[in-house]
Structure formats: structure tokens, C-alpha cells
């Protein structure tokens, strides 16, 4: 398997970090599947995550989308100086999740540059939109999260 | 212990239902603490639900607030004819959750009457605002959920 820019190691590291930092997400089976500057994708199995309607429970879908922010921060910004927090999130449930789900989010180059520049002066808010899809591509949920990256010590 | 209107049995039943219907929420330790027509309160322990910042993970707070809708439906509307679904939810994280958390939501009599009347004719949307607080009363999060009750078969 090709490994441009050490992407596989970053992914393995991020999955270890998830297990250590958010045990409940790890317990759900959430894993990062793709990770590079400005882009992250995570996945979750159906097993153990269903509800009485036979679909993936809302709180699992929320978690799958929410963890993207931290991973994107890790892959894109300076983790030695700044940490990410989620301030608020809106989640729309658009279709039932009837099997394994995948969620992805991205920031484009212009937005990354804006955040990096502003981060030198303190907290920087940014919005992250994530889409949660089923194996057949069905759009199951969309989230719009208000995140901040903050310098350590603030 | 007094048990006006069989409230304790309703609570025990609802907690059994949660375990069966949303295993992930049960696994987090979410339990219903108060339940009556138009009012519900649930609680979650800190243990096992923290993240790397030493505060309750966002996905757990979301779940704690989200389950209120189903329980309120159970305690307030006709479960033999209608079921509740969550269409979208906004969650604001207002303060870190540094210990056990409690979340409550209510519908007033006018709103309950409106929903009951409208339910005879099909799906009825309603909004449920929940507040998540710490043991000292600190407001940790507020959610605003768009729910529907739907007649079975729709």
C-alpha cells in the first residue's frame, strides 16, 4: 500500500488517540478511515449501535460527526500550540441509517490559511460541515458545527 | 416512598425500555430520574464518560438530552397509536461538565393539548428544549430539538 506523506501512520496514531481520549466513541466502534490536511473521514459499524427502530441511534451519528473536528485539527493545524473545542452543533437527521455509516468533513485551502493566520493572535472560530452517509451513499445526516481552535493556556 | 399516579413504576419501565431500545445510552449509564406528564429528567454519571480534557464528552451530553424526547412522549402521549422521532437538534456547549450531569425538558399544558388534538390528523411537529446541568446547577448545555410524533404506519 502506498503511503504518501505518512498518511497511514497519522491514521493509526489518530485511532489510538481516539481510544485514549474519547473511550465512549471508541466503544461505539468509531474509527478514522482517511486523514489528511483539510480532510477527514470516519466510520462506524451498525452492530451494537442500533435502536428499537433498527437504525443507528442518533447519539452515535452525532458522535461519528463530532469527532471529525478534533481529527481535522490534528491533521491540519499546530497541535503543539492549539487545541480544538466544539461550541455548538446542529444535526439534521435526513434518512434512517440502516447499516454501517461513514462521515466526512473538509476545510478548503483558503479557510485553512485564514485560520492559521488568525491563530497567531488567539482563539479562532471556524465552521465545519459534515455529511454522514450509508454504504449506498444515502445522506443520513448533516451536521454544522461551530468549533474554535484555542492557544493552550486560554 | 409515596408513589402518586404510579410514577415509580413508569420510571422503572422507562429505564428498562431504554436498556432494550438504546443500548448505547444505557451503556453510558443514562437513567431516567423523574417522569410525569409533560416533564422528564435524566441523569448520567461522570465515570467512563470523560474525555481527554477531563470533562463529559459531547456525544454523551447529546445522548443525555436526546433521550428525553422519547420518554416525554411515553409519559404524555398515546404510545399505542403514535411514536416519536427526532428530526434535528441544536446543542450549545455552555460550560464544561466536570461531574455527573442531569438533563430535563418539559412541555406545558397548552402545548400538550395542541399536540394531542393535532395528532388525530397525522404527524405533529413539536420543539423540545432541554437543559443539561451539573450537580451545582451550572448550565452545561442547552439543546433545542425538532421532534415529531407520528401515527404508526406513516
What does the mean pLDDT of chain B come to? 94
- On the CB side of B59, CA atoms within 13 Å amount to 30
pLDDT at B1 over 70: no
- Among B21, B22, B24, B152, most A C-beta atoms within 10 A, so best to mutate, is B24
* List of residues 6+ apart from B54 with CB closer than 8 A: B98
**A73 by DSSP, 3-state: which?**
helix
* Average pLDDT value for chain A: 94
pLDDT band at B7 (very low <50, low <70, confident <90, very high): low
Please state the rounded mean pLDDT for residues B65-91. Answer: 95
Mutate to test the interface with B, among A50, A58, A130 (most CBs of B within 10 A): A58
Instruction: State mean pLDDT over B7-23.
Output: 90
What integer is the mean pLDDT of B68-88?
A: 94
Q: In chain A, which residues have their Cβ closer than 8 Å to the Cβ of B70? A: none
- In chain B, the percentage of residues whose pLDDT exceeds 90 is 89
CA torsion A23→A27→A32→A33, rounded to 10°? 170
Nearest to B51 among A22, A50, A59 (CB): A22
pLDDT at residue B16 tops 70: yes
Residue of A nearest to B144 (CA): A90
Name the pTM for this structure.
0.94
Angle value at C-alpha B58, between B57 and B59, nearest 5 degrees = 95
pLDDT tens across the length of chain A (154 residues): 455 556 668 899 999 999 999 999 999 999 999 999 999 999 999 999 998 889 999 999 999 999 999 999 999 999 999 999 999 999 999 999 999 999 999 999 999 999 999 999 899 999 999 999 999 999 999 999 999 999 998 7
Min distance B40 CA to chain A CA atoms (Å): 18
Kindly give the pairing relationship between strand A139-151 and strand A82-93: antiparallel
**Which residue of A27, A28, A66 is in closest CB contact with B58?**
A66
Confidence of residue B131 (pLDDT cuts 50, 70, 90): very high
Question: CB neighbours of A98 closer than 8 A, spacing ≥ 6?
Answer: A46, A54, A55, A56, A134
Q: What is the pLDDT of residue B8?
A: 67
| Longest pairwise C-alpha distance within chain A | 48
For position B10, what pLDDT does the model report? Answer: 87
B132–chain A Cβ distance below 8 A for any pair: no
Number of cross-chain residue pairs from A and B with Cβ atoms under 8 Å apart: 86
Using CB atoms, which residue from A23, A24, A52 is nearest to B21? A52
Q: What is the pLDDT of residues A49-68, one digit of tens each?
A: 998 889 999 999 999 999 99
Confidence of residue B153 (pLDDT cuts 50, 70, 90): confident
Buried b or exposed e, range A42-68, using 16+ CB within 10 angstroms: bbbebeebbbeeebbbbbbbbbbbbbb
User: Between residues 7 and 36 of chain B, which touch chain A (CB distance below 8 Å)?
Assistant: 20-25, 27-28
> Helix, strand, coil shares of chain B as percentages rounded to 5?
35, 35, 30
Among residues of chain B, what percentage have pLDDT more than 70? 95
Minimal CA separation from A132 to chain B, in Å: 14
Amino acid at each position: 500500500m502506498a503511503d504518501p506523506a505518512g498518511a497511514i501512520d497519522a491514521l493509526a496514531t489518530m485511532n489510538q488517540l481516539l481510544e485514549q481520549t474519547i473511550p465512549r466513541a471508541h466503544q461505539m466502534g468509531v474509527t478514522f478511515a482517511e486523514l489528511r490536511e483539510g480532510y477527514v473521514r470516519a466510520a462506524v459499524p451498525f452492530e451494537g449501535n442500533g435502536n428499537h427502530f433498527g437504525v443507528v441511534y442518533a447519539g452515535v451519528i452525532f458522535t461519528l460527526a463530532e469527532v471529525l473536528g478534533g481529527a481535522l485539527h490534528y491533521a491540519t493545524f499546530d497541535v503543539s500550540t492549539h487545541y480544538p473545542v466544539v461550541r455548538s452543533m446542529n444535526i439534521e437527521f435526513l434518512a434512517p441509517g440502516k447499516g454501517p455509516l461513514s462521515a466526512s468533513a473538509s476545510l478548503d485551502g483558503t479557510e485553512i490559511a485564514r485560520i492559521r493566520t488568525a491563530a497567531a493572535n488567539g482563539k479562532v472560530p471556524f465552521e465545519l460541515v459534515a455529511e454522514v452517509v450509508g454504504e449506498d451513499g444515502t445522506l443520513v445526516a448533516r451536521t454544522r458545527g461551530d468549533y474554535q481552535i484555542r492557544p493552550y493556556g486560554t
